[in-house]
Amino acid sequence: MKISTLFILLAVMHVSAAGYAQKITLYEKNSPLSVVFDKIREQTGYDFLVSSRTLQNSKPVTIRVAQAELSQVLEQLFQGQTLEYTIQNKAVVVSEKEKSILDRAIDAFAGSPTVGGPNEIQQQTITGRVTDSLGTPLENATVRIKETNRATFTNKNGEFTLRGVEEDATLQISFLGYTTREIPVTSLTGTIILHRTNAQLQEAEVIVNTGYQQLPKERATGSFTFVDNKLLNRNPGVDLISRLSGVTNGLLYDDANSGNTLGINIRGKSTIFANTIPLIVLDNFPYVGDIKNINVNDIQDVTILKDAAAASIWGARASNGVIVITTKKGKMNQPLKVSLTANVTISEKPALTSTSTSDYIEMEKYLFDQGFYNYRLSDTYNHPAITPVVQILADQRDSLISADEANRQIDLLKGYNVKDELTKYWYQRSVAQQYALNLSGGGSHHSYYLSGGWDKDLSNYVNNSYNRLSLNGSNTFTTANDKLNISTGFQYTQSTTSNNFQTPAPGNSNLYPYAKLVDENGHALSLDKYKANFMDTIGQGKLLDWTYRPLDELRNSDNTVKIVDYRFDLGVNYKILKWLNVDAKYQYGKGTTTYRNLYGQETFYARDLINTFSSINPNTREVIRAVPLGGILNLQNNEYTSQYGRAAFNINQTFGFDHQLSAIIGSEIRDIATNGFVNTIYGYNELPASVSPVDFVNQYTTIITGGQRQIPDMSNVTELSERYVSLFANAAYTFKQKYIWSASARKDGTNLIGVNSNQKWNPLWSTGLAWIVNKENFFHVNTMNLLKLRVTYGYSGNIDKSVSALLVTSVGRNALGQRDAFIVNPPNPNLLWEKSGQINLGADFALFDSRLNGSLDYYYKKGVDLMGYTPLAPSSGLTQFKGNNANLSGKGIDLALQSVNIKGRLAWNSSLNFNYNTNTVTNYKIKPTSNDQYLGGIPITGKPLYGVFTYKWAGLDPETGDPQGYVNGEISKNYSQITNSLSPRDLIYNGPSVPPIFGNLINTFAYQNFSLSFNITYHFGSYFKRKSIDYNSVINKYGYFTGNDFEKRWQQPGDEKSTDVPSLIYPADPSRDGFYTNSSVLVEKGDLIRLNDIQINYQLNLNSAKALHVTNLNVFATAINLGLLWTASKKGLDPDKYQYLYAPYNLYQPKTITIGFKAEF
């Protein structure tokens, strides 16, 4: 922009009445008007807005005045001219006079080329209205004809008029504090909306994307959560879910209770047994692939559709909520823009849970004295290995070593702790790298975007890694008349995950705490599955090495998952009329997931299987192998192909200043074909490539037990075809910019539901009203800038792909190698869609010049015809049947607040999310028949879907240390009766396992180029059962040894006053342990407040980056998972982390720190 133009704009926006009082002195003879205008400007400061074309036909003027008023001078100047003028603020706007009807007729009769001539561009008078995004008129906004000095200003109603405007002209509309817009005259529809440039106020002006339409949030009746690019990039995680977690209103990340692979729920659960994953929409199309394949650096923003009015346009897939992802696009008339993002994330090394070696050895001694190991020591059928302590005790018993020697050896073992070697050789600091490069730009009729991303993640588990390559591109072409718009796009992602971590566990038992895995020189030591004397003699030394060395297994593992996913899409939009366009979209997608797990011959799995199915020929002493030498390759391949087509008419029309209609009506079809296979290949060699055939039908004698077995074969084939067809319509009508009504209707059909055609279709609808109260004349609350009330109601749906209207069977082989089949799903010709109705009452508000803004929603959901089980008579061949037999209700509150606490060089902003959600099972056919079913996760009518039930605790028996419960209200130690009887009064309902209250608080402080931000997350109202010792599982080697509780166990009378841990008994009683581990004494509250992350940003001074041609450079550091600020747990436990404490091979995400930068060129 030229300096002179900037001065003109500043002058136009300056309002002063003093100019009228200034006197003008002029003496001009036959001077051009432009010269006279300049001299008046010098004396008064008034600007003259006029184009050179307008002045071409003006007459020279002669004028002589002294100390005259401006109005007098202008009257003389324009006498006899074909021009007219208006004074607006401190500017004189000059335009051509509109000719009278008589003058037009004379010109036409005389063939004047100035009117309607073939070479003349037609001129017209245009009118319009300028408002902000809330519909408030903007007074004194500048409306300028681009590349001219002609302009006008809006009045107090935001209205303007411009005469003599050429048809091919473009308007520039500007207002202080708002982004300037350019609109071709041919595209002018009446009302022009400007948006603030102040980033702090953009939340009130969000454009939300439903996947079908883009609309200003303030003109929507539905409930949305908008996650902009800045908030999305707060967490540097490699996948979208990690970036949405902890910052998104209405979305709860709860991996343990979500019921889906994403670990998230939007406004709680809407189903019991069907699909619980929210619908993912990527650039207007439902996304079928793995969400981890979406490069988050390509995402511009995310819109969460929460209520029926927002989500029901997606019909039968929307009851779980909808996540609409919009990727970055190029812009018209933008020079090439290059953006580079890079960061690295490093985590701490995991801290494994500590177990007491001494306590474990003490328990082994007790069990040895009780004779527990006698069978294992004498077992000549399975030949199980014995732990070192048990072998020492056996040698002492058999007088092979003395008591002193046995104690010496055992004391030596007490000094070992396998945790140290696991920490050193099995775990590491994780290092994750992200790199993203994108290019964007465009010309007058074309825009483009191209990006590439590479991610590399070395896990906390040694030999586990993740690599991803992603490419993304889009192009948009527009014809010169802006009628036809063609868009294309593609996405390609390839990822490889290595899952080579091997759990060090001998045989089918868990690792004992004093195990030695590595010698002093770092060489792998063995933890054998079988007794050493058996392995030394079996097979007469001709079998493969049968020792199990965990460290070698870790190094030799070759287990990978490779995903290739790509899509192509095409969109065509044609503008039939100014207010009507037709839009057609098509997408083709394909994805392949290949699981490849190779057990090389050097791995224990292959050696064990080859040896097990080997025999020795008594005559030739040769080894006969039913399983050939070589590797064993387990291969699984899953593939999907999707096609999606949509055609719709879009209406967007403004009638005068009071009526606005936006509508869409259309149809879409979708086809998804999935297939897969699993295959087991024996005798596999890569170089040279070879495999060996194997007989899976016949049984072979195993060398260990002499029993008969088939060679394992996991082969199977799956195939599924899904077809959907839909009709949809959506409309929104706005009256006087303050009353809004919306409605949508959709009808979905699929081949997965019903037998009769009327059952295959599912009609769904929604409607909503909104009232912008602050625009009413009676509203005089000066501190409130916005008050918008909303109410919506409607239905959305869901589908369960695990059931079918037709009979589904699985065909395979039984233990004898014979072909057999079993019923996976009995036929259900009356199968229906699940349906969820939801009412939403909401308010959007802004106060104190929008320094405080937010939204508050209350909702109630009711799910009907949900999938559930109902009992059947045993004579039917089935005990229960899955169908539309359950109902579920839910309600909640969503509160979102944003505030600007301090403005200026030092700024402080806050963002608060508060969510409350609860659900109740209102109908379920199967009722509990025993107390233990309450604890087993069966839906209970009248209770939340995930409730925590426990046995009522009566303390420890002071004589024996046995745990005590209740039977029919009486204290009892009859554990079988406690668990198997039906007496709800002997149980305690503690509360939900899913927190009903959750949210977060972000505080951001900024000073000049620095910003510092804290995110605190919280959840309240949930309960969990802390883990304690289960003697039966520990004794039988499949449970983890919880040393702390073992040390606290009851050992003598009086201990019951200081501990609740039962005594150790032999033989172990599974029902006793089951009662204790599910008793109310172990229940803890899950309330917590967590410091989730801290982020530091620095915006580099661009003057120091000029040599690099950098236009923007931001460096940042983020720390995540920083720990608890407070917990309600009596034991000080972290509920989110606690579920992993006694499974050391499934680690909770440790603390991480990320450093990175983003540069734009």
pLDDT tens digit sequence for 67-87:
888 888 888 888 878 888 877
Average pLDDT on 1102-1120 reads 78
Nearest to 664 by CA among 777, 724, 746: 746
pLDDT bin (cut points 50, 70, 90) of residue 380 is confident
Examine the pLDDT at 874 and tell me if it is beyond 80.
no
Q: How confident is the model at residue 176 (pLDDT cuts 50, 70, 90)?
A: low
What pLDDT was estimated at residue 843? 96
Mean pLDDT for the chain overall: 86
- Lowest mean pLDDT segment, chosen from 275-279, 570-574, 1074-1078: 275-279
Rounded distance between C-alpha atoms, residue 1133 and residue 1027, angstroms:
11
pLDDT at 18: 38
Residues 6+ apart with CB under 8 A from 987: 931, 934, 949, 950, 951, 952
pLDDT at 202 over 60: no
**Rounded to whole angstroms, what are the CA distances from 848 to 139, 786, 851?**
20, 10, 5
Highest mean predicted confidence (pLDDT) among 177-191, 755-769, 904-918: 904-918
Cα separation, 492 vs 456, in Å, equals 17
Confidence of residue 452 (pLDDT cuts 50, 70, 90): very high
CATH number for the domain formed by residue range(s) 228-335: 2.170.130.10
CA 1121 to CA 886: how far, in whole Å?
39
pLDDT mean over 419-426: 89
More confident of the two residues 878 and 1068: 1068
Predicted confidence at residue 218, as pLDDT, reads: 74
Q: Would you say domain 100-197 falls under CATH 1.20.1090.10?
A: no
**Using one digit for the tens of pLDDT, what is the confidence trace for 825-852?**
777 788 888 999 999 999 999 999 889 9
Q: In one letter, which amino acid is 534?
A: F
pLDDT at residue 1042, rounded to an integer: 56
* Percent of the chain at pLDDT exceeding 70: 89
Residue 91, phi-psi category: left (phi > 0), alpha (psi -120 to 50), beta (remainder): beta
- Given a cut of 50, is residue 858 above it in pLDDT? yes
pLDDT score, position 506: 61
Lowest mean pLDDT among 36-40, 296-300, 1087-1091: 36-40
Residue 831's pLDDT is 84
Taking 50 as the threshold, does the pLDDT of residue 1110 lie above it? Answer: yes
At residue 803, the pLDDT reads 81
By the 8 A CB rule, do 129 and 657 touch? yes
What token pair was written down for 286?
A: 């439902």
- Please give the single-letter amino acid code of residue 924: Y
Return the pLDDT at 512.
85
Average pLDDT over residues 808-821: 67
Q: Taking 60 as the threshold, does the pLDDT of residue 121 lie above it?
A: no
DSSP state of 518: B
Average pLDDT of span 630-657: 92
Mean pLDDT value across residues 797-813? 76
Q: What is the mean pLDDT of residues 765-772?
A: 95
Question: Which H or E run contains 760?
Answer: helix 757-760
Q: Any idea where the domains of the chain sit in the sequence? A: 1-97, 100-197, 228-335, 357-416+503-556, 947-992+1026-1085
Find the range with the poorest average confidence among 140-149, 207-216, 465-474, 752-761.
Answer: 752-761
Give the chain's length. Answer: 1161
Q: How far from 430 is each of 551, 559, 1136, CA to CA, in Å?
A: 19, 19, 20
Local confidence band at 169 (pLDDT 50, 70, 90 cut-offs) = confident
d(CA 954, CA 854): 49
Q: Decide if 786 contacts 772 (C-beta within 8 A).
A: yes
Domains 1-97 and 228-335 share a fold: no
Comparing C-alpha atoms, which of 876, 852, 766 is closest to residue 204? 852
**CB proximity list for 749: less than 8 A, separation 6 or greater:** 724, 725, 726, 760, 761, 762
* Contact assessment for residue 205 and residue 218, using Cβ atoms and an 8 Å cutoff: yes
Q: Which three-class secondary structure state does DSSP give residue 202?
A: helix
- For residue 693, what is the enclosing H or E element? none
Class of domain 1-97: alpha beta
pLDDT at residue 21, rounded to an integer: 46
Q: Where are the alpha helices (DSSP H) in 816-957?
A: 931-935
- Rounded distance, CA 864 to CA 833, Å? 9
